[in-house]
């Protein structure tokens, strides 16, 4: 049962514009959320995270928004650059569980065109 869902398999955005990647989750015990970026033949690389006590976290061009009542989070990339083209995974964790194993979505493939 997929507890973290990324309903858009792919997204194409023009360079300089905003990229918005969405993620929904079903488990109300999730209290820590992360975005990972993945290039082909490489492991996922941590991008940005947010705790459930916050509704926004910003790091440079990347901002994550969390709407707990809707069980929804989004990643905004502004401005988008061609080097941002990759697969982005949303992940969630229940930190009351030992180990903090991550539950991942299926990923969204972002293509930023010049």
- Using CB under 8 A, list all residues that contact another protein: 4, 6, 32, 34, 36, 41-46, 49, 89, 91, 93, 95, 97-107
Which residues does residue 19 pair with via DSSP β-bridges, in sequence order? 77
Which is closer to another protein, CB of 23 or CB of 77? 23
Q: How far is the CB of 42 from another protein (least distance, A)?
A: 6
Which is closer to another protein, CB of 15 or CB of 103? 103
Whole-angstrom distance, CA of residue 93 vs CA of residue 11: 25
Which is closer to another protein, CB of 81 or CB of 95? 95
Q: How far is the CB of 88 from another protein (least distance, A)?
A: 11
E-only strand ranges, the chain: 4-5, 10-14, 19-25, 32-38, 45-51, 56-59, 62-67, 72-77, 86-93, 103-104, 108-113
Which is closer to another protein, CB of 42 or CB of 114? 42
Which residues does residue 88 pair with via DSSP β-bridges, in sequence order? 37, 108
Whole-angstrom distance, CA of residue 82 vs CA of residue 104: 24
Q: How far is the CB of 79 from another protein (least distance, A)?
A: 25
């Amino acid at each position: 049962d997929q507890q973290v869902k990324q309903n858009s398999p792919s997204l194409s955005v023009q360079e300089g514009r905003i990229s918005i990647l969405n993620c929904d989750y079903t488990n109300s015990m999730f209290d820590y959320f992360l975005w990972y970026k993945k290039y082909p033949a490489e492991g996922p690389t941590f991008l940005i995270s947010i705790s459930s006590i916050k509704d926004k976290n910003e790091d440079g061009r990347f901002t994550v928004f969390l709407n707990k009542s809707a069980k929804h989070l989004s990643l905004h990339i502004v401005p988008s650059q061609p080097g941002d083209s990759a697969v982005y995974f949303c992940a969630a964790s229940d930190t009351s569980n030992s180990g903090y194993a991550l539950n991942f979505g299926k990923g969204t493939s972002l293509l930023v065109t010049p």
